[in-house]
């Protein structure tokens, strides 16, 4: 909104992706310097894309975002694989540990991550 001496805007967004959380936390840390940062960022964008100020141009933004669920699953998978790396995994059955009978660690991790759905608030 434009007033006699200032522009005033209010922004809000959901905290549903890693990028949105990162952006929100960053702006939060800027405190009273948010306006200067946003103005500089927009000026840099316009310098790189002068067509953006043409009122006849349609602006298109492509936003790549990472779902928190995907990120969490990847993090858990990486942590479990890292923890199990080089360790012997015991079989539940009395069968000898052969390539055929070796536990499928990836399937176990998938099953564990699938059980996390019960904590989903959606």
DSSP of 51-99: GGG-TTSPP-------BHHHHHHHHHHHHHHHHHTTPPPPPSSSS---T
The span from the CA of 107 to the CA of 110, in Å, is 5
Residue 72, pLDDT score: 67
Q: Which residues pair with 2 in a beta bridge?
A: 7
Structural domains counted in the chain: 2
Residues 12 and 49 in one domain: yes
Residues 83 and 103 in one domain: yes
Residue 108, pLDDT score: 74
Domain interval for residue 86: 68-119
The span from the CA of 121 to the CA of 16, in Å, is 13
> What token pair was written down for 52?
């953006």
Residues 79 and 33 in one domain: no
Residues 26 and 49 in one domain: yes
Residue 102, pLDDT score: 52
Task: Report, as ranges of residue numbers, the positions in the chain whose pLDDT lies below 50.
Answer: 122
- Nearest to 90, CA basis, from 103, 80, 81: 103
Residues 85 and 61 in one domain: no
The span from the CA of 31 to the CA of 33, in Å, is 5
Residue 116, pLDDT score: 67
pLDDT digits (tens, 9 = 90+) for 69-102: 666 677 777 777 777 776 665 555 555 555 555 5
């Amino acid at each position: 909104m434009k007033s006699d001496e200032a522009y005033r805007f209010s922004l809000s967004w959901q905290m549903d992706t890693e990028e949105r959380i990162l952006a929100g936390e960053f702006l939060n840390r800027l405190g009273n310097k948010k306006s200067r940062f946003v103005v500089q960022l927009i000026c840099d964008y316009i310098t790189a894309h002068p067509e953006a100020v043409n009122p006849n141009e349609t602006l298109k933004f492509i936003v790549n975002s990472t779902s928190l669920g995907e990120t969490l699953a990847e993090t858990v998978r990486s942590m479990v694989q890292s923890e199990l790396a080089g360790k012997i995994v015991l079989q539940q059955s009395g069968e000898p540990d052969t390539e055929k009978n070796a536990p499928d660690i990836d399937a176990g991790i998938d099953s564990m991550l699938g059980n996390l759905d019960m904590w989903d608030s959606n």
